[in-house]
Homo-oligomer: A and B are copies of this chain.
Amino acid sequence: MSKIDYIKTSEIFKALSNPIRLQMVDFLLDDECCVTDVVNELGISQSASSQHLSILKNSGIVYPEKHGTRTCYKVNNKLTEEIITLLNKNNNA
């Protein structure tokens, strides 16, 4: 009997199944984090950034920290961190 919760885990993968969100998480893991930084880094619209970050937030992968008018997003999911580490370590895609 497997220990994997297929529904919960598949929701994490669903959040990571978009190249923009995957890049966001990779970026947020070791860099600056306010929405404007993400917009500039990834070169996508403000609205799209906000919506993608919202999906990552709702799946429990990131959480927001408000600083004045800015919102700083940080990765807060052990599994996701381990997976990104795995991806950066190996050359398997």
Contact = CB atoms under 8 A, between A and B. Distances in A.
B9 A22 contact: yes
B4 A10 contact: no
Interface of A: 2-14, 16-23, 26, 77-79, 82-84, 86-88, 90-93
18 contacts: A3-B88, A4-B26, A4-B84, A4-B88, A6-B19, A6-B22, A9-B22, A9-B93, A10-B17, A10-B18, A13-B17, A13-B22, A16-B17, A17-B17, A79-B86, A79-B87, A82-B86, A83-B83
Contacts of A78: 90, 92
What is the total number of copies of this protein in its complex? Answer: 2
Contacts of A82: 86, 90, 92
